Structure 1
């Protein structure tokens, strides 16, 4: 464990994050920024914030819909072009986590929040 923490510090990774190694599966822009709570929550969001992913198989617009929540509030969705593998993994009960990987001011709301979806490499307690 000590070697892992030292490596994390050398690489500029938070020691807290290094204790829970994860394999990044994809990075995607948040879809639906203007249609959900993301715009109102924008001042409170931080890079690295944990997000939760929820399948919405009954979504009338997209059968593979994956909703993205921050602290229990809907931010938006994974884009339709990027949600297939994540939807399938969630449907199979696989453990995935997500976090905000990038925030930036941009006129196009589709380019303001980037989400990172990952699979933990070690079992979570």
Structure 2
């Protein structure tokens, strides 16, 4: 699969507060992709049910930008991603580490507008 980030004038992003990232159809269910939104790496996920989640790509345990390559699943009915480095599991809904609640990754609002996935900025 070839992932093509959207190109949009910077003034349009500031006016709406949303950054277009990719086409919804480009996101494969249960697979993550990484997008640069502003200066932040964001990990985007689409579940089999079609729900979208956006969390920070930085794994606080390893220090690597790898969560977009993690294993997507569920724990107690909550959508999750397990870090590919040390396998800590993070809630895609809240960002909290389910193995160590003292750690968390940021979450971001995400939506689909006219078939394009957009992430809320700042």
Instruction: Give the TM-score of the pair, scaled to structure 1.
Output: 0.31
Query: In proportion to residue count, which structure has more strand?
Result: 2
Higher RCO (CA < 8 A, seq sep 6+) = 1
Instruction: Give the TM-score of the pair, scaled to structure 2.
Output: 0.31
Query: In proportion to residue count, which structure has more helix?
Result: 1
Q: Return the index of the structure with the highest Cα Rg.
A: 1
